[in-house]
Amino acid sequence: MIAIENLVVQFGGVRPIDNLTATISAPVSGLIGPNGAGKTTLLNVLSGFVSPVQGAVKVEGRDLLALRPLDRVKSGLRRSFQTEQVVEDLTVAGNLYAIADHVTGPGERIEAVEAALAFTGLRGVADTLGKALNLFQRRLVELSKCLIGKPRLVLLDEPAAGLTDEESATLRELIMRIPDEFGAQVLLIDHDVELIRSMCTQTLVLDYGKMLALGPTEEVLASPDVRRAYLGEF
């Protein structure tokens, strides 16, 4: 469970997060909102790239903001980026070991990498260099990285961007299995409202850094305020 209280992020005169209070508890939750709504900034606060000027965030009751970014990772926070961050000159397995070295004990790293490769179906390309991968494989590497060690909270920033419908469906099925198989909560940003509808039982909608709606996804997407913010896009 992620409990956000009175959170404010300020960049000069811009407030990408403007006094946000929200509790996100579903196993797979969505974070949506128009461009510039503050979605990525919120993920940046959770992962430690951005420090808020005010407010608190608790994850499973623990004060997240008191932890340094690496300690957040060690405590189970994982994150993927809009632009995937695969290291081109490392193999797929090498990319995963680079994470495992920080988050698993010496006796656990091989098992952790193998489990992630098996889950995402990347075992067959474990020895392939990052630069030889297609976009789908790169997105799967990103997801695999999030599953190394003992993830507790997985933050995904547009994980299916640029994928075909078929690839997106495969990725979606994998993400939906994460809570049961890895015991982690998932929070994902996406502009594809149908993807959010099909995956997320709970959705938070941001608009200009404020909460526009939070609740069961179907109810949230039916809200006139939310539909207005999207200017009839869905």
Ligand X SMILES: Nc1ncnc2c1ncn2[C@@H]1O[C@H](COP(=O)(O)OP(=O)(O)OP(=O)(O)O)[C@@H](O)[C@H]1O
CA–CA dist 33, 229 (Å, integer): 8
CB of 29 to ligand X, least distance (A): 16
Which one among 30, 33, 76, 149 touches ligand X, defined by CB under 6 A? 33
- Residue range at the interface with ligand X (CB under 6 A); choices 34-42, 52-60, 114-122, 197-205: 34-42
- 115 contact partners, CB below 8 Å, separation of at least 6: 147
Under the binding rule (CB under 6 A), the answer on residue 16 touching ligand X is yes
Pairwise CA distance, residues 137 & 220, whole Å = 32
Applying CB under 6 A, what is the total number of residues that bind ligand X?
11
38 forms part of the interface with ligand X (CB under 6 A): yes
Q: Is 41 in the site for ligand X (CB under 6 A)?
A: yes
**Phi, psi torsion values for 206, nearest 5 degrees:** -105, 150
When asked if residue 49 is in the footprint of ligand X (CB under 6 A), the reply is: no
Site stretch for ligand X (CB under 6 A), options 10-18, 62-70, 113-121, 123-131:
10-18
Q: Confirm or reject binding of residue 14 to ligand X (CB under 6 A).
A: yes
Q: How far apart, in Å, are the Cα atoms of 156 and each of 8, 125, 228?
A: 22, 23, 25
| From candidates 28, 39, 133, 213, binder to ligand X by CB under 6 A | 39
Contacting positions for ligand X (CB under 6 A):
11, 14, 16, 33, 35-41
